[in-house]
Amino acid sequence: MEKASFSKRLNSKILLTRWKSEQGFQDIPSKILEKPYDLSDLIFEWSELQTDKIVLKPEFSFSGRHKILKFISIASEQWENSNLQKESSWFPCVAQPWVQRIYDFSCLYDFAIGVPTFLGSTIQICDEKGSYNGAYITSTKESEFFFFY
């Protein structure tokens, strides 16, 4: 497989969301939206979540580069009529309820022997708006704390 195509497949938020759902790893509710009109279905499905914001994550993007929408504004027909064309560039995407957090993490694995071998983790530091501020590689003890307890 060509490197660019392989990298694209590995970094797709849509493919990751599908995989997490199939494997039962969905940590927060997520929904793949193919087109802007799918937002109306999302509003109906998530009406019980009591979230004030929804995050739209394009298939390929970096932390802090997502679209944050107020739940109440997308629940109204007025939003649907006025912003539909402007927002269409964000689709397809993954929608998630906004969660307040100040860091995120990722795992590092080696697949050289055909099975994943855990190497460690990185922590991405974000501000209160979710914008990426930096990252660091954790110590073995920090990795164990985050992933095994």
Handedness of CA 76, 78, 84, 87 (dihedral sign): negative
pLDDT band at 64 (very low <50, low <70, confident <90, very high): low
- Of 3.30.1490, 2.40.128, 1.10.3470, 3.40.1350, the CATH number of 3-97 is 3.30.1490
How much is the mean pLDDT over the chain?
79
In this prediction, residues 92-117 reach a mean pLDDT of 81
Q: Where are the domains of the chain?
A: 3-97, 103-148
The model carries a pTM of 0.69
More confident residue, 91 or 73: 91
Alpha-carbon distances, residue 30 vs 14, 20, 53, 79, 143 (angstroms): 10, 10, 13, 21, 25
Q: How far apart are CA 72 and CA 30, in angstroms?
A: 18
Q: pLDDT digits over 10-23, tens only?
A: 778 898 899 888 88
